[in-house]
Amino acid sequence: MRRRLTIGMAILAIAACRAPAPEPEPVSTRVESPELGLTLASVPEPFVVGENAGANLRLDTTHPTGGNVAFAVGEPEYGLNLQAEVTRRGDAFRAMKGGEYHGSRELGTPFGPAYYCRGAYDTASGEREEQTWIFGLHPSGESRLLILTYTYPAGEGQTRVNELLALLGEVEAFVSEPEPSAS
């Protein structure tokens, strides 16, 4: 019995003296969407890339209850009116089955003003869903509308708004790398 105890302790001592496993190399979470003219400097938690092809950029969440953020960019437009976009979205929320409009707020971003608005509605399957929309200026400086739409189960608004605002802080204009010159 004493021999087994001594051997067991020796194995534990050897295992404890081993060097810790090396840290895994950080994975770049930079996401580029040339078609939308957008780059995400990084993808913050709880988001993961769900789709990034052509004009489709969608981030899914790792929340057990799900959720996703869709990105959209409007055509160049003179006299872009962000407040009018928010008003239209509020009206759309109110017109939906069980629709409620929770209001909007103005935001400051590095590329100009933006607004977010929230609302809830009943889906076709009868579940309650909520969305937070951000309407802002495209980070390229062009007069184009940038829209982020976060869809998630109703009742999780404050947490999800904070996540979306953190994500907005990662949005940049896409800049293509110059082709290397053949010398």
**Residue 67 forms part of a structural domain:** yes
Which residue's entry shows tokens 């204009």? 173
Q: What is the chain's alpha carbon radius of gyration, rounded to the nearest angstrom?
A: 23
Residue 15 has pLDDT above 50, yes or no: no
Q: Residues 37-73: pLDDT tens digits?
A: 999 999 999 999 999 999 999 999 999 999 999 999 9
pLDDT tens for each residue of 118-152: 999 999 999 999 999 999 999 999 999 999 999 99
CATH of the domain at 116: 3.40.1000.10
Lowest mean pLDDT among 8-12, 78-82, 131-135: 8-12
Sign (positive/negative) of CA torsion 116, 122, 127, 128? positive
- Domain total of the chain: 1
Token digits for 92?
């759309």
Q: Residue 21 falls within a domain, yes or no?
A: no
Q: 82 is in which domain, residue-wise?
A: 31-173
- Inter-residue contact 172 to 38 (CB < 8 Å): yes
CA 56 to chain centre: 13
Kindly report the average pLDDT of the chain as a whole number: 87
pLDDT(5) > 90: no
Mean pLDDT of 102-123: 96
The 3 state secondary structure assigned to the chain is CHHHHHHHHHHHHHHHHCCCCCCCCCCCCCEEECCCCEEECCCCCCEEEEEEECCEEEEEECCCCCCEEEEEECCCCCCCCHHHHHHHHHHHHHHCCCCEEEEEEEEEECCEEEEEEEEEEECCCCCEEEEEEEEEECCCCCCCEEEEEEEEECCCHHHHHHHHHHHHCCEEECCCCCCCCCC
In a domain, 12, yes or no: no
pLDDT of 28 > 60? The answer is no
Query: Could you tell me which of 64, 93, 112 has the C-alpha nearest to residue 104?
Result: 93
Indicate whether 14 belongs to any domain: no
What is the reported pLDDT for 176?
A: 84
- 17-26, 35-44, 106-115, 170-179: the lowest-pLDDT one: 17-26
| pTM, 2 dp | 0.81
Asked if the structure places residue 22 within a domain, the reply is: no
Is 63 part of any domain? yes
Mean pLDDT, to the nearest integer, of 9-28?
A: 47
Residue at 156 is within a domain: yes
Structure confidence at residue 182 (pLDDT): 59
Residue 23 forms part of a structural domain: no
Q: What residues have CB less than 8 Å from 70, skipping those under 6 apart?
A: 57, 58, 148, 149, 151
Query: Which is higher by pLDDT, 15 or 111?
Result: 111
